[in-house]
């Protein structure tokens, strides 16, 4: 793991506390002027200027320094964004994986409880406390079956094997 102030893609800890981050809406993003290729040379050119050269060119020394500070910050952001994007990707994929694992476990738990409840003489006592689990697990299938029954569809799909052409 690298330094959190200088993260690498795959790092789980990113420290951007030294940066003043902004949140803009998409309409504002379209209005922003994009920097182009060659910006590095332009910034390097500003870095080489002496105070006398800045004065002789009639430049505001504060503006030159502000441009250099923003360029440094932009470079830090350039270095952090790939790590932040990878962290976001890993968080989203991990959430999806955990959701998948959870869905599988809920299905297995519901199946086990339903089997036990059907065999056990005290079935309602077993099944009753799990009503919300059963609603979650079997609700979509029950709704689908009800919709098919309402529309007159049969439970068996028609195909070449079960069609009788006479």
Give dist(CA 43, CA 37) in Å, integer.
12
Q: What is the mean pLDDT of the chain?
A: 87
> How much is the pLDDT for 150?
82
Give dist(CA 143, CA 70) in Å, integer.
57
**Tokens encoding 108:** 């297995």
DSSP H or E segment with residue 86: helix 61-119
| pLDDT grade for 154, boundaries at 50, 70 and 90 | low
* Tens digit of each residue's pLDDT (9 = 90 or more) over 16-68: 888 888 999 999 999 999 999 999 999 999 999 999 999 999 999 999 999 99
Instruction: Categorise residue 59: left if φ over 0, alpha if ψ from -120 to 50, beta otherwise.
Output: beta
* Tens digit of each residue's pLDDT (9 = 90 or more) over 96-114: 999 999 999 999 999 999 9
């Amino acid at each position: 793991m690298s330094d959190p102030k200088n993260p690498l893609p795959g790092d789980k800890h990113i420290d951007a506390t030294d940066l003043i981050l902004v949140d803009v809406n998409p309409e504002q993003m379209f209005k922003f002027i994009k920097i182009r290729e060659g910006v590095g040379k332009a910034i390097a050119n500003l870095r080489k200027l002496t105070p006398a050269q800045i004065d002789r060119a009639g430049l505001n020394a504060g503006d030159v320094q502000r441009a250099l500070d923003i360029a440094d910050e932009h470079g830090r952001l350039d270095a952090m964004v790939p790590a932040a994007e990878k962290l976001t990707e890993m968080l989203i994929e991990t959430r999806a994986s955990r959701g998948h694992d959870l869905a599988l476990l809920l299905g297995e738990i519901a199946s086990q409880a339903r089997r036990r409840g059907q065999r056990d003489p005290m079935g309602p006592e077993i099944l009753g406390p799990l009503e919300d689990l059963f609603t979650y697990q079997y609700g979509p299938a029950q709704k689908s079956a009800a919709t098919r029954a309402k529309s007159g569809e049969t439970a068996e799909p028609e195909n070449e094997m079960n069609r009788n052409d006479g």
